[in-house]
Chains A and B, each alone.
Chain A
Amino acid sequence: MRERVGYLPDIGDEVIESKILTFTRKGVTLEVEAPLLTRKQMQQVSEKVKRASAEVLKNMTIMEIITIIDTAIEVLLDRNSTYRKKAEKFLPIVTGYDEEMIRLGLTSFLKKFRKYELQRFVVEDLGNPLLLDDFQPRIKRGFSKAVGPELILHVWAGNVPALPLWSLLSGLLVKSGNIGKVSSAEPLFAGWFAQVLVEVAPVLKDCLAVVWWKGGDEEREKEFFTYPDVVVGYGSNQSLESMSRRIPVTTRFLPFGHKVSFGVISNTALDSRKALITAHHAAFDIIQFDQQGCYSPHLFYVQKGGNISPEAFAQYLALELESYQKRYPRRTLSLEEMTAAIHWRNQEEISSYTGPTKLVLGQTENHWTVVYEEGGLFSPTCSNRAVKVIPFETVDDILPNLKPYRSFLQSAGVAAAPRELFQWAEKLGNVGVTRITSIGKMTSPESGWHHDGRFNLLDLVQMIDIEHSAEEYAENFAAYID
């Protein structure tokens, strides 16, 4: 099977080179044909997108844009639409994730971008959505308008399906021209979305592009990074750093580095009955996209003193993971990933013979590993359904472990009573956590969330102020002045 991906505006009769990326899963092979632009073509695309978005997008109202996006999302939510069918068929092959996991994941993800959610998204950042359309009166007097950049370049990474939507939609909402570079691990979804968008609103046909080049292609990146006003980059610190070296100082760079997330479970959630449910939710956070998300938990801090001990909780978690393996099997790992996983488990096992209380659950045939470790250090696991359970007495005990990693922390899934929740949120926030969510929802941030504590739209726009003085001063020059 072959699927052409990406999306290009009309740049005339150009021969576009394409790169074939091959994916195989369960004996089915999919060849993905990704557009690889020359420097000249990229320049043409950039200019076209810039111009078209200035002419078209910038003249639309925010509600018009939201309505278009909503219609496109509706198409993708419709299980009978061509694009949705394609997504359900091809994404499992490309990413390796289980079909059901993708299907459910897509729906719950896409739901966050329907009309009402998008309105919330905009209000969350700007307060008054009309700021994007026109100058709006300010309480301090004067007027302001929020203007998005002419061109945003998104460099996406990773294999979590559909993830590029977050930044692409943000770019559209601020009325910018958008060019996205898809990752080799999931090159499909962004292009489909662009295609659907143009189908439901043909006027947008030249306002965006979705392309591909090999990440780290120095020659291309050096040139391409000179066109946009803003580059939004995803990836490891190392790749972000080398990206930043290629970005001119005049271009704004919004880097989103890799993060690590974890769970904290209070003993109030660990009585004989609730512990099972808590473990069920925790396991879901682990299996959803095999811990590849920045919001996926690698550790669970579990409080002592509940009827179910942290150790028993670890064992519950193990069975939940085994059960999920039957329901949503882990994707097939590459030999490298498998080897890394086996070494990780073995090393944990061996260190358990001399270390303090430590227990390794999961055998050769299990596609998951749970390590229970008293006093375990804060560190990500090898992913792909490997998790550590670390017991604690009071939340203050775990804070010193987290502190050194402030810049890497993102989500903390919390199961705790209301008073504890706010107390812990305060403390976890102080060491760098930017998102507190419930166990079971860790991989599903709500619309309008602050990704890594930042603003989705505010970080993209520029505010234009008309100060009160100008307004007053202008009065002097009015033709109708008495």
Chain B
Amino acid sequence: MEQQKIIQYLLTIVQSDSLSEDEFNQNALQLFAYQYTNNLPFRKFCQQKGKTIRTVKTWKDIPAVPINAFKEVPLTCTPPAEAERYFMTSGTTQGVKGKHYHPTLEVWNLSMKTYFKQRFMKETEKIRMGVLFPTENEMPNSSLACYLALAKQEFGTEESHYLLGENRIEIERLIQELEHAERSGEPYALLGASYSFVHLFEELRNIGRSFQLPPGSRILDTGGYKNQSKEWELDDFYHELSRVLGVPRKDCINMYGMTELSSQLYDSGNERVPSVKSGPHWLKTRIIDPLTDEDVAEGERGVIVHCDLANFNSVTTILTEDLGMKVDGGFLLLGRVQGTEAKGCSIAVEEFIKAAKGATQ
């Protein structure tokens, strides 16, 4: 299939209301054939596993590519140089960052807008926004910067603002915004990386302030906040978020996204944690047993695999390092496998790499 044809088709899918299991399957298989044919490293990966156009019969048979693969090889069906944009992954292997190439951002943009509207904006068309994250200009290869810029541009009122300058929260500006919302009763949306909110907690505690944002206000946080000054328990985080901003926890939405995908997943608020997360109809999530590649039973822990049809140029199916559990209406995100501590006295890879950095610098 031609790339152009695929793009057009995907745009229709994203705009449609739903996809039947059959339709999803067919699209996934078509994309698999396209990616198998046009991306040599991916093809080799599949061949090694005996998964080829001939043997892959359903979307679940498509080999899930580990996120680290983006750091090792260019996963793209078109020459990297021809990409409109590439996003860089956060983690590194020996200083190399992974790249996710997008020949065009058309699909990515539409995917983002469509589902953002559905899960975060809902009935609201526009809302006054504050963004706790650098701008797209400052971070041109950050998918999150791109995401937040698009959110602000498409769904923010004209008064919407970035509230992060040189990596510091512009606290006075933020307070003005929050006070304005409190006074005017106009709903306000604060969006940003989870760790920015942790910094915000500290700033507000230092000056001893908290706010009561008007009804309709909402929060969007994303990403982790590990390795920050204090490790927050999920429950404490949303408790604090709700307390200092006066937004009910049901309106504190967490976006679960990855540079390696072209779509995002959301929960419907965080009254209870861990919250149930789910993605759009063009993305399916599996929870698998990594030893067998089979789905685990509902209610059992496994590793999260996403099949995102919007990932037309790289690979549809991604093996994450996240643990999850399938539940009604989606899945629970149970955290990341972060270089498990060695059980014995043999050194763990992570510890070694950390030490090696010190040794070779």
Tell me whether A and B are bound partners: yes
- Seen from chain A, the residues whose Cβ lies within 8 Å of a Cβ on chain B are 157-160, 163, 185, 234-238, 256-261, 289, 291-294, 296, 298, 333-344, 346-347, 349-351, 353-354, 360, 363-365, 379-383, 404-405, 407-408
Q: List the B residue with the shortest CB-CB distance to A258.
A: B347
Q: A residues within 8 A CB of B353?
A: 379
Evaluate contact between B352 and A260: CB separation under 8 angstroms. yes
Question: Is B292 an interface position by the 8 A CB rule?
Answer: yes
In the bound complex, what is the Cα–Cα distance between A349 and B51 (angstroms)?
Answer: 15
Evaluate contact between B49 and A363: CB separation under 8 angstroms. yes
> In the complex, which range does the number of interface residues on chain B fall in?
35 or more
Evaluate contact between A256 and B345: CB separation under 8 angstroms. yes
In the bound complex, what is the Cα–Cα distance between A350 and B340 (angstroms)?
Answer: 22
Question: Is B341 an interface position by the 8 A CB rule?
Answer: yes
Given A353-B40, A364-B291: A405 touches B356 (CB 8 Å cut-off)? yes
Evaluate contact between B345 and A294: CB separation under 8 angstroms. yes
**15 sample A-B contacts, Cβ–Cβ < 8 Å, listed by A number:** A157-B345, A158-B344, A163-B345, A185-B343, A234-B345, A258-B342, A292-B342, A294-B346, A335-B323, A336-B340, A344-B349, A346-B65, A350-B69, A364-B293, A408-B347
Question: Is B30 an interface position by the 8 A CB rule?
Answer: no
Evaluate contact between B69 and A346: CB separation under 8 angstroms. yes
Q: Which one, B49, B73, B323, B341, contacts A353 given CB within 8 A? A: B73
Q: List the A residue with the shortest CB-CB distance to B43.
A: A353
In the bound complex, what is the Cα–Cα distance between A335 and B351 (angstroms)?
Answer: 20
In the bound complex, what is the Cα–Cα distance between A344 and B360 (angstroms)?
Answer: 23
In the bound complex, what is the Cα–Cα distance between A340 and B336 (angstroms)?
Answer: 11
Q: Which one, B66, B342, B351, B356, contacts A343 given CB within 8 A? A: B66
In the bound complex, what is the Cα–Cα distance between A326 and B121 (angstroms)?
Answer: 56
In the bound complex, what is the Cα–Cα distance between A405 and B349 (angstroms)?
Answer: 13
Q: Which parts of B325-361 form the interface with A (CB within 8 Å)?
A: 337, 339-349, 351-353, 355-356, 359-360
Question: Is B61 an interface position by the 8 A CB rule?
Answer: no
In the bound complex, what is the Cα–Cα distance between A91 and B347 (angstroms)?
Answer: 22
Given A157-B345, A343-B66: A237 touches B355 (CB 8 Å cut-off)? yes
Q: B residues within 8 A CB of A260?
A: 346-347, 352
In the bound complex, what is the Cα–Cα distance between A389 and B343 (angstroms)?
Answer: 23
In the bound complex, what is the Cα–Cα distance between A257 and B348 (angstroms)?
Answer: 11
Q: Which parts of B10-48 form the interface with A (CB within 8 Å)?
A: 40-41, 44-45, 48
In the bound complex, what is the Cα–Cα distance between A349 and B6 (angstroms)?
Answer: 29
Most buried by B among A157, A236, A335, A351: A335
In the bound complex, what is the Cα–Cα distance between A354 and B73 (angstroms)?
Answer: 7
Given A334-B340, A346-B66, A404-B359: A259 touches B346 (CB 8 Å cut-off)? yes
Evaluate contact between A339 and B323: CB separation under 8 angstroms. yes
Evaluate contact between A350 and B346: CB separation under 8 angstroms. no
Most buried by A among B73, B340, B346: B346
Given A353-B45, A354-B41: A382 touches B323 (CB 8 Å cut-off)? no
Question: Is B303 an interface position by the 8 A CB rule?
Answer: yes
In the bound complex, what is the Cα–Cα distance between A363 and B63 (angstroms)?
Answer: 13
In the bound complex, what is the Cα–Cα distance between A338 and B302 (angstroms)?
Answer: 10
Given A351-B72, A404-B356: A291 touches B48 (CB 8 Å cut-off)? no
Given A185-B343, A349-B48, A364-B293: A236 touches B349 (CB 8 Å cut-off)? no
Evaluate contact between B321 and A339: CB separation under 8 angstroms. yes
Q: A465 to nearest B CB, angstroms?
A: 36
The interface bits of chain B over 284-302 (1 if a CB of A lies within 8 angstroms of the residue's CB, else 0) are 0000011111000000011
Most buried by A among B49, B66, B353: B66
Other than the known A158-B343, A340-B339, A353-B41, what 14 A-B pairs have Cβ atoms closer than 8 Å?
A159-B343, A160-B345, A185-B344, A260-B347, A293-B344, A335-B323, A342-B66, A346-B65, A349-B45, A365-B292, A380-B349, A383-B343, A383-B348, A405-B356
Q: List the A residue with the shortest CB-CB distance to B360.
A: A404
Evaluate contact between B346 and A258: CB separation under 8 angstroms. yes
Given A236-B342, A342-B319, A404-B356: A380 touches B347 (CB 8 Å cut-off)? yes
Evaluate contact between A350 and B41: CB separation under 8 angstroms. yes
In the bound complex, what is the Cα–Cα distance between A163 and B345 (angstroms)?
Answer: 10
Evaluate contact between A382 and B66: CB separation under 8 angstroms. no
Q: Which one, A237, A340, A353, contacts B351 given CB within 8 A? A: A237
Question: Is B212 an interface position by the 8 A CB rule?
Answer: no
- Seen from chain B, the residues whose Cβ lies within 8 Å of a Cβ on chain A are 40-41, 44-45, 48-49, 65-66, 68-69, 72-73, 93, 289-293, 301-303, 319, 321, 323, 337, 339-349, 351-353, 355-356, 359-360
Q: List the B residue with the shortest CB-CB distance to A185.
A: B343
Evaluate contact between A350 and B66: CB separation under 8 angstroms. yes
Evaluate contact between A336 and B345: CB separation under 8 angstroms. no
Evaluate contact between B342 and A351: CB separation under 8 angstroms. no
Q: B residues within 8 A CB of A336?
A: 323, 337, 340
Given A340-B340, A343-B66, A382-B349: A354 touches B355 (CB 8 Å cut-off)? no
Q: List the A residue with the shortest CB-CB distance to B300.
A: A335
Evaluate contact between B323 and A347: CB separation under 8 angstroms. no
Q: Which one, A339, A347, A380, contacts B346 given CB within 8 A? A: A380
Given A343-B66, A346-B319, A350-B41: A338 touches B345 (CB 8 Å cut-off)? no
Q: Which one, A293, A354, A360, contacts B48 given CB within 8 A? A: A360
Q: Which one, A160, A343, A380, contacts B348 given CB within 8 A? A: A380
Q: B56 to nearest A CB, angstroms?
A: 15
Evaluate contact between B351 and A238: CB separation under 8 angstroms. yes
Given A353-B45, A353-B73: A342 touches B347 (CB 8 Å cut-off)? no
Evaluate contact between A339 and B73: CB separation under 8 angstroms. no
Q: Which one, A294, A335, A341, contacts B301 given CB within 8 A? A: A335
Q: A residues within 8 A CB of B293?
A: 364
Q: List the B residue with the shortest CB-CB distance to A340.
A: B340
Given A260-B352, A346-B69, A353-B40: A291 touches B346 (CB 8 Å cut-off)? yes
Q: A256 to nearest B CB, angstroms?
A: 7
Q: B residues within 8 A CB of A294?
A: 344-347
Q: List the B residue with the shortest CB-CB distance to A157.
A: B345
Evaluate contact between A383 and B48: CB separation under 8 angstroms. no
Given A364-B49, A379-B352, A405-B359: A293 touches B72 (CB 8 Å cut-off)? no
Q: List the A residue with the shortest CB-CB distance to B340.
A: A336
In the bound complex, what is the Cα–Cα distance between A259 and B352 (angstroms)?
Answer: 9
Given A293-B345, A294-B346, A405-B359: A343 touches B68 (CB 8 Å cut-off)? yes
Q: A residues within 8 A CB of B301?
A: 335
Q: Which one, B337, B346, B347, contacts A340 given CB within 8 A? A: B337
Q: B residues within 8 A CB of A353?
A: 40-41, 44-45, 72-73
In the bound complex, what is the Cα–Cα distance between A296 and B347 (angstroms)?
Answer: 10
In the bound complex, what is the Cα–Cα distance between A335 and B320 (angstroms)?
Answer: 13
In the bound complex, what is the Cα–Cα distance between A258 and B346 (angstroms)?
Answer: 5
Q: B residues within 8 A CB of A338?
A: 289-291, 303
Q: A347 to nearest B CB, angstroms?
A: 5
Q: B residues within 8 A CB of A379?
A: 349, 352-353, 356
In the bound complex, what is the Cα–Cα distance between A480 and B94 (angstroms)?
Answer: 78
Q: A residues within 8 A CB of B73?
A: 350-351, 353-354
Q: A residues within 8 A CB of B65?
A: 346, 350
In the bound complex, what is the Cα–Cα distance between A394 and B344 (angstroms)?
Answer: 32
Q: List the B residue with the shortest CB-CB distance to A386.
A: B349
In the bound complex, what is the Cα–Cα distance between A335 and B336 (angstroms)?
Answer: 11
Evaluate contact between A350 and B72: CB separation under 8 angstroms. yes
Q: List the B residue with the shortest CB-CB distance to A294.
A: B345
In the bound complex, what is the Cα–Cα distance between A345 and B289 (angstroms)?
Answer: 15
Q: A449 to nearest B CB, angstroms?
A: 15
